[in-house]
Amino acid sequence: MDLAFALSPRHVCSGPPTPVILATGRAEGRVPQEEVWEVLLARANDGDGTAFARFLHAVTPTLRAVIRRRGDGLPPDQHEDILQEVLLAIHLKRQTWRRDAPVRPWLYALARYKVVDAFRRRGASVTLPIEEFAEVLPEENVAVPLSGRDAELMLGMIDARSAMLVRAVALDGKTAEEAGEMVGITAGAARVALHRAMRRLSGLAERMMK
């Protein structure tokens, strides 16, 4: 189902019912992609997983549009994350939809709540990829507190494996996958270990600068 179809007026349930909606209701089953959201969600709540998958696929373009409209400040690569948060919320809260009510007001209110929540948690700050400004950004000429010698000193203060990971990724520019392979753990575990090591290091750096 494409976006234009999802947003077309004949699918808007508020307002007086038009013959088109009635026809859509009756045609349901014969023309599968025109299945009414209400029918799909009602079946889904009765335990029909296929109907629920179809429902989620059907509402996804609309949700993408909502998130895109609301999400000017965030990089588009985070929009899919937010979409997944909304889909998960639809699943968790799907029983709060009343069968005798239209789906759309329920869905939009739920999506608005989750989208606003997601953007608030990510902060309202505008994030832009820094690479595009590489030419115009002034070089930071403040004294870097973490010189090479300090770095080695601090790496000596954390455990050997973490130090190896940090050296590989932060100083030698390797990827988490390569670094993980070096010490014999998966990329995911390497990322977690790296994150914890960096946090310990920044704590150490703060103490050193005092």
User: Which parts of this chain interact with other proteins (CB under 8 A)?
Assistant: 44-47, 49-50, 52-53, 56-57, 60, 77-78, 80-81, 83-84, 87-89, 91-98, 101, 105-110, 112-113, 117
Distance of alpha carbon 24 from alpha carbon 31, whole angstroms: 9
Distance of alpha carbon 166 from alpha carbon 156, whole angstroms: 11
Distance of alpha carbon 100 from alpha carbon 179, whole angstroms: 56
Name the minimum Å distance from CB 48 to other proteins. Answer: 9
- Whose tokens are 């608030």? That residue is 120
**CB-based contact 119:73 (threshold 8 Å):** yes
Name the minimum Å distance from CB 69 to other proteins. Answer: 18
CB closer to other proteins out of 29 and 47:
47
Q: Which of 6, 9, 13 is nearest to 103 (CA)?
A: 13
Name the minimum Å distance from CB 164 to other proteins. Answer: 26
CB closer to other proteins out of 155 and 176:
176
- Token code pair at residue 15: 């307002």
Name the minimum Å distance from CB 154 to other proteins. Answer: 29
Q: Which helix (H) or strand (E) holds 176?
A: helix 176-183
CB closer to other proteins out of 117 and 150:
117
Distance of alpha carbon 83 from alpha carbon 106, whole angstroms: 16
Name the minimum Å distance from CB 156 to other proteins. Answer: 34
CB closer to other proteins out of 29 and 76:
76
Name the minimum Å distance from CB 45 to other proteins. Answer: 5
In 9-56, the DSSP E strands lie at none
CB closer to other proteins out of 58 and 155:
58
Helix extents (H) in 46-169:
49-70, 79-92, 103-121, 148-155, 160-166
Distance of alpha carbon 171 from alpha carbon 186, whole angstroms: 20
CB closer to other proteins out of 26 and 98:
98
